[in-house]
Amino acid sequence: MTKILQVLAPKVAESAHIYRQILATFAASLLALAGGITFGFTAVLLPQLQNDTSFPYDPVYDSWIGIYLSVSASISPLAMMMGSLFSGSMSDGFGRRMGQLVLIVPFILGWIIIGVSNNNAVMLLGRFITGACTGAVRANSMVYIGETTDPKYRAIALFCPSAAINIGALISHTVGKFCHWKTSCFIFIIPNIISFIVLLSLKESPLWLLSKGRTDEGIESYKQFRGNGENADKELATVLEKTKEKSAEKSTFRDISDIIFSRPFMRSLATIVLLFIAVQWCGINTLSFYAQVIFEKTFAGEVDAFMLMLVTDGIRILAGVVMCSFAKMLPRKVTFIACCITTSLILLGLVTYLYLRPDGMVWMAVTCMVMYIGIASALTCISWSFVAEIFPAKVRGFGSGLSSAISFVLLFISVKVTPEIMNRFGEEVMYAGFAGVTLCTGLLLSFILPETNGRSLQDIEDSLYQKKGVEKKNAISMAALPNSTA
């Protein structure tokens, strides 16, 4: 036994940094799972409230709770946006890890408030808190994953939260079916508690520490997460060199605002807007809120809408797992554009069926629907992975928070508009609209979306934000150095 331990100990020590990256991804994904639970709680909360004699249920609150849950932030989009933006500023100011730790506390408190609520006002307060935390924590956790994982594994790690959200929704539906809604609230606290414990055992993001001038802590954290390999040492040397250059220029409020209002930042923001237009307006997330109604209208009662809704949950989880499995080898830009085009074609096939409705061909519509859900779910995974990568380190938290706010606003618009379009113009027009938006945004993104797979965050930042003249000057200076490896 002693000999086995002597052999294994060095190997475990060599791989310790990989385990820490896994733990960082696990902790952040647990928070995403908690957000998925918040999304899924809609389906089990309202039916139970209607039949709970101990709760003073009032149907007038249905729309408030439903709208609020659909945007997963608050009763109004303004509060949702404020929560997301506050999260980004907090992430830049206090740290990526600390930002998550701080958010977990009100997240837990929100579930406790819901669990002990005995009237609508308290219920809405708890839903406001959990929703705001759900909206705020997504971008924060993505940035932490992006800054702590190796470029070789970062794509896989960044897809994990998207898969976790779908798992959380399924957990919420399952627990809510067999447990009273108050009991469910206390069960839903568990992922937050586990995430809090894991985060306490990890260090702060090395890139954030270095950006704040805490060089010794940053180097120590970097080695904790990346080890001492040749590639890790090269990347660390590059980051330290860039940090020295940036520290020579004091980061004043004006410097930060110059970055935010610069053309490269606006280009990145435009890219994110188009990404989330493709994702939120392709209909996949809207489908989650109106699944049974949409399925009943689409298939005219020929298919069990409830069973198809459960199949949808399973497909979304499977899509997330598949994307995680193949993320390392897939070029994300090409994959995203291909998914946009494929989604549009599948939706057009579904529209064709709905106009013709040939007898005995409902299986074709079901096949189109299943394929649509799978491919569009992949779009969601890929889009969020870019959020943690295409903003510069100094404003990465702000940029990711702003991106989260934009995403939820677009979702809110889709959730509010889709039923009106379906009822007034028919589901054929609704699906055709989804297809048109997805195709147009996909084509536009083919020109401006950067390929980030396998590249370090510093390399991505340099390619997007460094002026060509500066790049040329640096290249000449590096070439003039003896034994240069530039």
Query: pLDDT by residue (tens digit) across 191-211?
Result: 999 999 999 999 999 988 988
Ramachandran area for residue 300 (φ above 0: left; ψ -120 to 50: alpha; else beta): left
At 75 the pLDDT is 45
pLDDT digits (tens, 9 = 90+) for 160-172: 888 898 888 888 8
Please give the residue that has the higher pLDDT: either 228 or 160.
160
| Alpha carbon 293 to its chain's center | 26
pLDDT band at 2 (very low <50, low <70, confident <90, very high): low
- What sign results for the dihedral spanned by CA atoms 419, 424, 428, 431? negative
Report domain extents, the chain.
2-202, 263-455
Whole-Å CA distances, 273 to 42, 181, 258, 414:
27, 36, 20, 14
At 256 the pLDDT is 66
pLDDT digits (tens, 9 = 90+) for 100-130: 999 899 999 999 998 888 877 788 788 888 8
CB 283 within 8 A of CB 376: yes
Q: What is the percentage of the chain residues whose pLDDT exceeds 70?
A: 80
pLDDT digits (tens, 9 = 90+) for 69-94: 443 333 444 555 666 777 777 787 88
Crossing angle for the helix pair 396-425 and 120-148, nearest 10 degrees?
130
At 73 the pLDDT is 33
CA–CA gap between residue 387 and residue 201 (Å, rounded): 26
What token pair was written down for 299? 């298939």
- Longest Cα–Cα distance in the chain: 81
Same fold, 2-202 and 263-455: yes
Q: What is the mean pLDDT of residues 383-401?
A: 80
CATH number of 2-202: 1.20.1250.20
CA–CA gap between residue 373 and residue 338 (Å, rounded): 15
CB 91 within 8 A of CB 200: no
| CB-based burial, 90-100: b 16+ in 10 Å, e otherwise | bbbeebbbbbb
Let me know the angle formed at the C-alpha of 260 by 256 and 263, rounded to the nearest 5 degrees: 130
Residue 54 above 90 pLDDT? no
Whole-Å CA distances, 430 to 84, 191, 421:
29, 37, 6
pLDDT band at 392 (very low <50, low <70, confident <90, very high): confident
pLDDT digits (tens, 9 = 90+) for 238-267: 778 777 766 545 456 666 677 777 888 888
pTM confidence score: 0.74
Sorted by sequence, the CB contacts under 8 Å of residue 343 that are 6+ apart come out as 282, 372, 375, 376, 379, 435, 438
Q: What is the mean pLDDT of residues 54-77?
A: 49
pLDDT digits (tens, 9 = 90+) for 137-148: 877 888 899 889
CB 410 within 8 A of CB 276: yes
Read out DSSP for 217-281? HHHHHHHHHHTT-HHHHHHHHHHHHHHHHHHHS---HHHHHHHHTSHHHHHHHHHHHHHHHHHHT
Please give the residue that has the higher pLDDT: either 339 or 288.
339
Residue 59 above 70 pLDDT? no
CATH number of 263-455: 1.20.1250.20
Residue 315: which of 191, 178, 167, 157 has the closest Cα?
167
